[in-house]
Amino acid sequence: MPILFTDMKIVKTIQEMQALSEDLRKEKRIGFVPTMGYLHKGHLSLVKKARELGDIVVVSIFVNPIQFGPTEDLSKYPRDFQKDATLLEEEKTDIIFSPDSKEVYPEGYSTYIQVKELENYLCGQSRTGHFTGVATVVAKLFHIVKPHFAVFGQKDYQQLRIIEKMVKDLNMDIEIVPYPTVREKDGLAMSSRNTYLNPAEREKALLIYASIKKVEELFKKGQRKASTLRDEAMKVLRSKDGVDIEYVSICNPDTLIEVDQVKNKALLAIACRVGKTRLIDNIILMEA
C-alpha cells in the first residue's frame, strides 16, 4: 500500500515540476540533488547539504536508461521507491521528482549533450556513451527543476567534472556544489551497487580503500612519482584474487589527463570489478 507523505510532494510529470519550480524560484532558493534512487547515507548527505544551503530541496529519482551500456545493469539496478521516499521525508525534502522513462525520453527523442575530452578518460574508456547519457539527463533535469544550485558527490569524480564543464560551457546559471565521498566504517565508499556484493566480495572490495590509503601514506612521505604510486596501489589490489583492475590513474584533477609527477595536487582514481560488480573510488592527493 502506498505511504502518504504529508509535507513532501511527489511529482511525476515534467509539466508539473516546471510549473512548481517556476513559481517557487521567484522567492526561494532551490537546491537540487539528482539521484538514481536506492538511497544510502552518501545520497542523504547531499540532501542535508542542499537543505543547509537552500530554501527548497528537490531530489530526483530516475534510473536514466541512456547512461547504461547494452551489457550493463539497467534492468537489475536496485530500486525501492517507498523506502527512498521515507528517507527523503526524514531529511525534510520538499519535492521528489520521479518521472518515468517515457516522460523523459518520449518517442523520437534525439538530442544529446557531449562534453568532449573529459569523457575520454577514466571510466569513459570502458563505458562508451555513459557520460553523454549523464550530461544529457542532468541538462534536462536542470531545465525541468530550475535549481539555483545542485549538489554532486565527489565519489563520481569524473561525472562531477563533466557537469561542472557542461554548466560552464553552456552558461547554465546553476552553482555546482561538490560533496566529499561518504564511506562505510571500514572505508568502503557507499554505493547503491554495494548491494550486489556477497560477503566474500565485500571483503575483497576493501582492498580499494586499502590501496588508496597506501598511496596516501607514500604521498605524505614525499613520493611524487606517479608510476611508483600507481604500482603500489596495484600491488595492494592484487594482494588477493578476485579484484580485476580496470584502471588506476593518477591524473590532473581538472583535465583528468595522466601525470608523470604529482605537483601540488592530483587525483588518484580507481575502477575495479569484484565478481560482476564494478566499483569506483578516488581521492585527491594534495600537498599539505
Annotated catalytic residue, options 43, 130, 143, 148 = 43
**Element spanning 283, H or E:** strand 277-286
CB 276, CB 194: distance < 8 Å: no
Stretch that binds ligand AMP, among 167-175, 182-190, 232-240, 275-283 (CB under 6 A): 182-190
Residue 190 sits in the site that holds ligand AMP (CB under 6 A): yes
**Of 127, 130, 146, 155, the one binding ligand AMP by CB under 6 A:** 155
Per-residue DSSP letters for 217-286? HHHHTT--BHHHHHHHHHHHHTTSTTEEEEEEEEE-TTT--B-SB--SEEEEEEEEEETTEEEEEEEEEE
Nearest approach, Cβ of residue 217 and ligand AMP (Å): 22
Binding pattern for the stretch 43-82 against ligand AMP, x by CB under 6 A and - elsewhere: x-xx------------------------------------
Query: Cβ closer to ligand AMP: 191 or 229?
Result: 191
Query: Cβ closer to ligand AMP: 161 or 230?
Result: 161
CB 269, CB 156: distance < 8 Å: no
Nearest approach, Cβ of residue 6 and ligand AMP (Å): 25
Torsion angles phi and psi, residue 172, rounded to 5: -75, 135
Q: Are strands 243-251 and 175-179 parallel, antiparallel or unpaired?
A: unpaired
Query: Cβ closer to ligand AMP: 189 or 269?
Result: 189
**Of 54, 147, 153, 253, the one binding ligand AMP by CB under 6 A:** 153
Is 148 an annotated catalytic residue? no
Which DSSP symbol is given to 155?
G
Site for ligand AMP in 209-268 (CB under 6 A): none
Question: Can you tell me whether residue 210 is helix, strand or coil?
Answer: helix
CB 279, CB 191: distance < 8 Å: yes
| Catalytic (active-site) positions | 43
Residue ranges binding ligand AMP (CB under 6 A): 35-36, 42-43, 45-46, 152-153, 155-156, 179, 181-182, 189-192
